[in-house]
Amino acid sequence: MTEYVHKNVLVIGLAKSGLAAAKLLKSLGANVTVNDLKAKKEDTAVQELESLGIEVIGGGHPLSLIEDADVHLIVKNPGIPYSNPLIEKAVLKGIPIITEVELSYKISEAEIIGITGSNGKTTTTTLIYEMLKANHSKALIAGNIGTVACEVTKEAKDDEVVVMELSSFQLMGTIEFNPKIALVLNIFDAHLDYHGTRKEYAEAKGKIFENQTNEDFAIVNYDDKEVCELAEKSNGKLIYFSASQNIGKGAYIKDDTLFMDEEKIINIDEIVLPGKHNLENILAAIAAVKIYGVNNTAIRHVLTTFSGVKHRLQFVGEVEGRKFYNDSKATNILATTKALQAFTKPTILLAGGLDRGNEFDELKPSLKNVKTLITFGETAPKLERIAKESGIEVIKRVDNVEQAVYAAFDASNEEDVILLSPACASWDQYKTFEERGDMFINAVHKLK
């Protein structure tokens, strides 16, 4: 590839994606400068980049990086908003702004399956990857799931397929990106502090369809009108899935059985992964892997053994008849609503976290099976209010997730479900939702 040779590229935001993008661009012959607010000379990543001849500028986002240089391209960390003054200046100057995902597509020899949506991305991405592997297909996994996309695609061969989880932040920074299979699961209110409006958020998701040709495929949630409208941007073959209607074509449910184009795949009661919302994820995954000829034996093997992605309604274990589930990834009300709807047994809910100013009244209809609420973090008082209004009699506040596990166990009976599904981000007490979930897992193992 010669596209980036001698081009002046500014990478804004280091982290994993910025580090990978900077190294890749340097190897492709670009003149690379990295700008990161918190970068320090003693940082390992900074030292690695400087050893490659890449200048790293920290301490701020000086406008001189744009004003005093002939910048041909900006690669932006997905989390940096477009309201950043340096980004706004670049937009005014007409400098192309992309995310690392665009780079990953440009260098990839392998076909890409791109998965996005407000909820279920990680589970669906993992299901597709596992089904392809079970079929002995050459599959790789990348993107927002934790592995930087361009690090994967630079090694991918033309007989492989890259299964890529994509966020709205990443998709906003794409221009030519075109997955062989584009899959949108659903659209709900999310990240409106970043995108401004639901419409702009949905349009960012819809970019996954924009460059598709008649040789590509768009997998679409038939039950989500907004997703169907976004899919009109695709020139690919439309394949629908529905968890609520017998659509006869595509992936759907009939008589408690999952079908693909009238072919029976598996009965619902054989599936290990709990929750109605996960049926949508499973149907979407089936629709995707059938394009690659994955057989039913491979699909069934995954669905009868796969119990969930870590921190996403993950079954942790059973202690004295109580089943513990880790749903630390539930950082919003919708995710917790779906988690609660997955269970019919008496449930003890562990919830709380960062206060973003919202109330939790939308949770009330889903609390009918909740017998006890254990709260922690900044939002504890708000959650306790809706619990009282919902008639939950046992409510207890603790200092952290570990204490919540022990309090839940003390308040529980045999056959109860003990569910960590915080409905809030973790940043008031924990660096990440993973750290919060790991505390839950460790506490359960201590109980064992």
Residues in the chain with pLDDT values less than 70: 189-195
Residue 332 has which token pair?
Answer: 């919003």
Is 213 annotated as contributing to ligand binding?
no
Sketch out the chain's domains with CATH numbers: 8-98 (3.40.50.720), 101-303 (3.40.1190.10), 314-447 (3.90.190.20)
Residues with Cβ within 8 Å of 200's Cβ and at least 6 positions away in sequence, in order, are none
Q: What pLDDT shows up at residue 277? A: 83
Specify the pLDDT at position 68: 83
d(CA 288, CA 116): 13
* Side-chain half-sphere CA neighbours of 279 within 13 A: 24
User: Which H or E run includes 371?
Assistant: strand 370-375
Tell me if 167 is assigned to a ligand binding site.
Answer: no
Return the pLDDT at 194: 67
Q: Which residues neighbour 108 within 8 Å (Cβ) at sequence distance 6 or greater?
A: 153, 154, 156, 162
* Separation CA 352–CA 374 (nearest Å): 9
Beta strands in 211-271 (DSSP E): 217-221, 237-242, 251-254, 257-260, 263-267
pLDDT of res. 379: 97
For residue 8, what are the contacts with CB-CB under 8 A and spacing of at least 6?
30, 31, 33, 69, 70, 71, 72, 73
Structure tokens at 179: 């997955």
Report whether 117 belongs to an annotated binding site: yes
At 195 the pLDDT is 64
C-beta separation of 327 from 312 below 8 A: yes
pLDDT value of residue 219: 98
311 and 327 in contact (C-beta within 8 Å)? yes
- Half-sphere exposure of residue 114, counting CA atoms within 13 Å on the CB side? 30
Q: Is 119 annotated as a binding residue?
A: yes
Nearest residue to 64 via CA among 82, 80, 86? 86
